[in-house]
Structure 1
Amino acid sequence: MSSDGAIVELSVVGYEFPVASDREAQDEYDANWLVIDGSVRTAEGRAWSWTEPSLLTSEARELTTWLRSAATTDGAVPIWDDARLTSWLADVESDTVEPWSSDGADESDGLLLFLEPNLGFSVAARAEAMVHLRVHFSLEALPEPPIGAAGGFPLYSFFVTLTLDPADLMAAVEQWERDLAPYPIKRIAP
């Protein structure tokens, strides 16, 4: 929970296609979609929830690494195969990631994005030993009806900022890792 009362809870419901041999799960993308249950309450008290396939198993693990990095201020760089992510995480840890502007841009080096554009994450700031983490919502993860203009929001422009003690963020990371444990990355034989 954020120091201002805002809450974002994400949990894994299961694979979208639980059995790797399901007709619909004919490739590794389809076999590895995770259904995420999300619940949000803003500091102002607006609440909503959704349950949608939102992350691949690899992306859920990427989020774990990213959140761990956002909570760490000692400059240690976690090991990750993706060079861009590793570089970006090093910048997060060294406090050189610029706050992300919420101008609705689809691409930004300051925003962690996923294949399904329901969620995104960015560091707004680090101040007074707290991490100000933005959780961005788009498409199915937006509240109904969308807050704001009748036309909705550009991707990733609606977000909730969580002000967290790094230890609390690490506790959330550890819970997320436990939630992911039953859902390994599936490999589909050709």
Structure 2
Amino acid sequence: MQLKGYESSVTLEPVRYELANPAGDEWDDNWLVIKGDVSAPDAEWQFAVPCLTTFEAKRISAWLRGVANGDVPVSVSGDAGVVPSLEFTEPNLAFSVGSYHGGLMSVRVHFALESMPVGQSSDERDQFWVGIAVTAADLESSANQWDKALSVFPDR
């Protein structure tokens, strides 16, 4: 799945289960290694970390479609920084809406821990994000790409 704007892009792809062979634990058996490729004006980096379960990963396409429909509220900044509207068990990835303006939406992808560029402080994960201006059609396309990529990783 690729979210691509004028200056930034984020590509996320589930590449394998963390455990090649199921161990019989519904939770442990369903962790996915997510590969990321990020390009922003001030940094470019890649990562591959087990940071989403199959159950959590399914929420991304629903969230993208919700943003495309204008159903996800803009995340506000406060004392704790920008609070993502889509978070997961592992804090490596999160998502928020920066704004809706005309036909464009600003989507933020938040990074933490092993998903951050080398040398970046992970003290405040909500403070490190990449903003991408996209259209509703872009988000629908990204959601479809994500669903297709996840289809080879059913819940085990």
Same fold per superposition (TM over 0.5): yes
Q: C-alpha root-mean-square deviation of aligned residues, in Å?
A: 1.9
Q: Secondary structure at the match of 1:133?
A: strand
Alignment deviations for residues 46-65 of structure 1 (CA, whole Å, 9 cap, x no partner): 10010000100000001111
Q: Which amino acid aligns with 1:174?
A: N
Larger radius of gyration: 1
Q: Give the Cα separation in 2 of the matches to 1:103 and 1:13.
A: 36
Identity value in percent? 35
Is residue 93 of structure 2 the alignment partner of residue 119 of structure 1? yes
- Whichever structure has more strand as a proportion of its residues is 2
Aligned residues: 154
Partner of 1:101: 77
Partner of 2:65: 68
Is residue 13 of structure 2 the alignment partner of residue 16 of structure 1? no
Consecutive aligned runs of 4 or more in structure 1 exceeding 3 Å deviation? 102-106
**Maintained 8 Å contact 1:103/1:157:** no
Partner of 1:182: 152
Is 118-127 or 26-35 further displaced after alignment?
A: 26-35
Structure 2 gap ranges (5+): none
Structure 1 gap ranges (5+): 74-89
TM-score, scaled relative to structure 2: 0.90
**Maintained 8 Å contact 2:105/2:133:** yes
1:133 pairs, out of 107, 110, 127, with 107
Q: Secondary structure at the match of 1:60?
A: helix
Task: Compare relative contact order (CA 8 Å, sep 6+) and give the higher one, 1 or 2.
Answer: 2
TM-score, scaled relative to structure 1: 0.75
